[in-house]
Copies of this chain bind each other. A is one copy, B any other.
Amino acid sequence: MTPTPRDWAARFSDRMARVRASEIRELLKLLDQPDILSFAGGIPDPELFPVERIEAAYRRILADADLARQALQYSVSEGYLPLRQWIAGRMTRDGMPCTADNIMLTAGSQQALDLLGKLLLSAGDTVLTARPTYLGALQAFNGYQPAYLDLPDGALSGAGGEAFEARCAGAVGYFVPDFANPTGRSLTLSEREGLLDLADRLDMTLIEEAAYRDLRFAGEPLPTLLGLDIARTGSIETARTLYCGTFSKTLSPALRIGWVCGAAAAIEKLVLLKQGADLHVSTINQMVAHQVVSEGYDQHLGRLRAAYGAKRQALLAALDRHMPPGVAWSIPEGGMFVWLTLPEGLDGKILLERALAEERVAFVPGEPFFAEVASRNCLRLSYSMPGDADIDEGVRRLGRLIARAG
């Protein structure tokens, strides 16, 4: 009867069969070698963290005996009320009229996706998403064993076809309308309206992820799906869209603070799930975030936009300079990513192995970002971390490799 280590596999629930190691995360563990020029990590540039403001906020809160007692104690699962009120005010100004009752704080938008999966998905339910889509969302949803459906070309202008629309009925849609990870692409206004038309026609619930929305450095802001939805139905309480925001890309991902905004009836249920999942977000981190955003968030965002906009310019210029014919790429108006489409026949994963070995340059192959049917001749470049000289040199090496491999 003595168990052996192998027994553990038999003890895991059937749900675990779909939960596998992320290739990106495994890969990132290998990228600590300092001589590699990396476009792999989609993480914020630590030089842009508001360290002094964050340090001052921790110091001020912990130096006040009453605030310290509150900051270090258990707190409510919906989150710190002043921060929820601040977020509701900001969402309202961004075209999504709401109150603190429509906001629940989460441990980053990753937890928002996990709790939304728990709320909305049972095994076999359909998730409709872009092609490619955010890998972290797939990881959050996989535990609930949904079936995935790629959004086909033309679907947002009503030309998805009958078979597609039959599969969509009652589905949950997951989309990143602004500067999506991994493509950097945004939905146009008419695509946003088309998505809502589809959702209304087929009674879909929509999850809108807005992780990069505050990082626009070109073009004009477009209304969110939730904002358009509220305009249609007259109130957030009747909107079918649940919006996920985060401070991870703008303040610091290490605070683990994101939020869900939507109908109070959904937020109430999410609060119960949050309570069972981990009780609440770190109280002190919520108070720190509230203090930091109350002291000039827009000014801080201006600094981020300028910095990431310049890095994106450097990457686009380097691509123009160094990429061989047959390679295409997205032109992001915000966020951290450019999506490269390679000549047919090239495989991003094989190219990565060669890039690491032959050119000491790294990126993320495109394949893991596809929910239903994968493409192989694609990859994701992030410009958030490297400096201008490394961007140019890295792209030069990558272009040289692609020319050799093609």
CB contact list, A30-83 vs B, under 8 A: 43-44, 46-47, 49, 51, 54-55, 58-59, 62-63, 65, 68-69, 71-77
Given contacts A46-B72, A203-B1, whether A15 and B140 have CB atoms under 8 Å apart is no
Complex alpha-carbon distance, A136 and B277, angstroms:
9
A100 to chain B, nearest CB (A): 15
Q: By the criterion CB–CB under 8 Å, are B278 and A108 in contact? A: yes
Q: Are A265 and B8 in contact, CB atoms less than 8 angstroms apart?
A: yes
> A21–B73 Cα gap in the complex (Å)?
21
Q: Known contacts A3-B240, A4-B238, A284-B254; is A279 also within 8 Å of B110 by CB?
A: yes
Q: Does A93 contact B (CB under 8 A)?
A: no
B residues within 8 A CB of A43?
Answer: 73-74
The answer to whether the Cβ of A165 comes within 8 Å of any Cβ in the partner chain is: no
Q: Are B273 and A143 in contact (CB under 8 A)?
A: yes
A42, closest chain B residue (CB): B74
Contact of A281 with B265 in the complex, beta carbons under 8 Å: no
Partner-binding segment picked from A117-125, A213-221, A334-342: A117-125
Complex Cα–Cα for A256 and B108 (A): 14
Inter-chain CA distance A200–B285, complex, in Å, is: 43
Inter-chain contact A122/B59, CB cutoff 8 Å: no
Closest CB of chain B to A238's CB: distance in Å?
5
List which A210-239 residues lie within 8 A (CB) of chain B. Answer: 232-233, 237-239
Q: Which of A3, A19, A62 has the most CB of B within 10 A?
A: A3
**Contact indicator A2/B238 (Cβ below 8 Å):** yes
Q: Indicate if the CB atoms of A263 and B8 lie closer than 8 Å.
A: yes
Query: A197 to chain B: closest CB distance in Å?
Result: 10
Copy tally for this chain in the complex stands at 2
Q: Which residues of B contact A265 (CB under 8 A)?
A: 5, 8-9
A12-B269, A16-B119, A51-B68 known; A1 and B200 CB under 8 Å?
Answer: yes
Bound form: Cα–Cα A145–B283 in Å: 30
* Nearest B residue to A232, CB-CB: B2
Task: Check B275–A256 contact: CB distance below 8 A.
Answer: no
Chain B residues with CB under 8 A of A21: 272
| A404 interface hit (Cβ, 8 Å) | no
Determine how close the nearest CB of chain B comes to the CB of A46; give it in whole angstroms. Answer: 4
13 A-B contacts (beta carbon < 8 Å): A2-B233, A11-B266, A16-B269, A43-B74, A46-B73, A51-B62, A54-B62, A55-B59, A55-B63, A55-B68, A58-B62, A140-B276, A256-B280
Interface, chain A (partner B; CB < 8 A):
1-5, 7-9, 11-16, 19-22, 25, 29, 43-44, 46-47, 49, 51, 54-55, 58-59, 62-63, 65, 68-69, 71-77, 106-108, 110-111, 114, 118-122, 125, 136, 139-140, 142-144, 200-201, 203, 205, 232-233, 237-240, 248, 252-256, 263, 265-266, 269, 272-273, 275-285
